[in-house]
């Protein structure tokens, strides 16, 4: 089984400030992905959502077709 990470309409806000909005990703095993942008754009927030550090996101994060919340 080939590993992959998928996000569907992933959004996150700190209080009332929207940091990431409707991010859709599909990253396959072995694929190299670069997240590039200016300071404060939400790169670390995205990675914190993907790693499970931040839990109160909206949308879906799937790892090998399993919800991150169920892992």
Q: How many CB atoms lie within 10 A of CB 12?
A: 21
- Rounded distance, CA 45 to CA 66, Å? 21
| pLDDT one-digit tens code per residue, 23-61 | 999 999 999 999 999 999 999 999 999 999 999 999 999
pLDDT attached to residue 3: 83
pLDDT of 37: 95
In the chain the domains, ranked by start, together with CATH numbers, are 4-63 (3.40.50.300)
**pLDDT band, very low/low/confident/very high, at 1 (cuts 50, 70, 90):** low
Closest Cα partner for 35 from 2, 10, 17?
A: 10
Edge-to-edge strand ranges of the sheet holding 58-63: 17-28, 4-14, 58-63, 66-67
Check residue 43 and give its pLDDT: 97
pLDDT at position 31 is 93
């Amino acid at each position: 089984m080939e590993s992959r990470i998928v996000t569907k309409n992933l959004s996150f806000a700190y209080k009332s400030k929207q940091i990431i909005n409707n991010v859709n990703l599909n990253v396959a095993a072995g694929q190299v992905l670069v997240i590039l942008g200016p300071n404060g754009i939400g790169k670390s927030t995205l990675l914190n959502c993907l790693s499970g550090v931040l839990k109160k996101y909206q949308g879906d994060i799937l790892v090998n077709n399993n919800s991150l919340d169920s892992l």
